[in-house]
Chains A and B, each alone.
Chain A
Amino acid sequence: MKKAKTKTNAKAQASAKAQANTKAHAKKKTKAARSPKITLRLNGKKAAVAAPPMKRLLDTLREDLGLTGTKEGCGEGECGACTVLVDGAAVNSCLVASCQVAGCDVQTVEGMARGNAKVAARLHRLQRAFLEHGAAQCGICTPGMLMAALALPKRATLDEIRAGLAGNLCRCTGYMKIYDAVAQFLDGERR
């Protein structure tokens, strides 16, 4: 048993090393192709990243900028898991070329909490509403749902909330709790 575990560990280490090597190699290759630098505002701060122009914004966020809160679901604009805001408008980051956000204001789920997201008081009010209503089950759709909900007009009715989130699929199908959370958040914003 113990031996098997050690073996697995060694295997895991070897595979991690191989992965790191591939990563380093990939990085070198990208550099060799001289990826142009893209400057943007990211979650309120200036950011710059070297990425191939047609690299998906989703991949640039996750791989180059280390923001893995944005999820990939379908990769074809159906599910909304990769939703981020570009200049305030909800977009599917799997369908946006990185070069197209140069000079833009990009917001991801990481920009919502103020400081440590593990402290409830630091969370954005919309995030707290999701917590209070149990509006997340497996959680894969949640970052996209949050971003799409942020783009809703403050006066959105339930129908408008549904339409605004129609491009975000939740396969745990917990839609009612999500709508409730968003409605409560918007209600608070109006006060």
Chain B
Amino acid sequence: MNFQLTKEQEFVRKMVREFAETEVEPLAADIDKEHRFPVETVEKMAKYGLMGIPFPTEYGGAGGDNISYAITVEELARVCASTAVIVSAHTSLCCWPIYKYGTEEQKRKYLPDLLSGKKLGAFGLTEPNAGTDASGQQTRAELDGDEWVINGAKCFITNGGFADVFIVMAMTDKSQGNHGISAFIVEKTDPGFSVGKTEDKMGICASSTTELIFQNMRIPKDRLIGGLGKGFKVAMSTLDGGRIGIASQALGIAQGALDVTIEYMKQRKQFGKKLSQFQALTFVVADLATKIEAARLLVYKAAYNETAGLPYGVNAAMAKLFAAETAMEVTTKCVQLHGGYGYTKDYPVERMMRDAKITEIYEGTSEVQRMVIASNVIGK
């Protein structure tokens, strides 16, 4: 058993950290305040190959592994959770299902542009009446000659306002229950497609979270992906990998919060001593650091399993559950350690705390993760 990162993984961390600190961090507070999607950052990330890391060079990916991808999302999230989720949603929720379930034609048509970052991807499963209960899909797709006609709406779609390609789930045969759901590749230029309202959120404010509206949207027959009735399977397996991305995001948020807090504690003096010299406070830091390290190991193990072709669904659920709850605890305590200053926008920790909350909710709430883990551990 080898706990060492490979040379490549170490250099990935080095590169993304430098990139994050120089290109991403300076914008983080502003884009959060302005709720502005950082288009220029996405362009830069595309240029350096960050938008297709865990995919083979044959399709335009970087030829990297999943731990490197996890490290990338973590390092981005360390300074800006919004920027991190742009990469994560694009890579895990759109590029991955096309790579895994697409026909050769579909892969050749979509992956080069997506993996090079020329186009941005997104994933549409959630609906106003189908959140945790994803099987309650009301969006329907009907075959009409050579085209699918799709009607319905999705909500809370990450990258919604800026994506070019969407993996959309729709009901093709209501009588089959979960086996009546199918997955489709939708392009923003498809007739009948539009982006609805943009959510005004508590955190990850620079991430574009929108409605998608399909009004008699017509797409060619060959846009079906994964096979008829296989949409639920496509969605669930996609979310398994997506969980590793979100767990990495949560991990990065926690680490970033702790890092800036330790800096603060070394400068701030009260009662003639630095905060870092008060034992009660250092014990808090010790506990947080330990939890972050535990989260890290869960994330990397899940990523390792995925790359190695081993089952990783439960690992991903555990990583996401634990990392998200850790991020919430760490950021809350880091605001506390900053005292009054932590509650102001002068310091980044209040933003990190607002950002952390969503990791307990999206891509499967903590409750869903517990369902997955329990079902696996207890069995029938």
Q: Do A and B come from one complex?
A: no
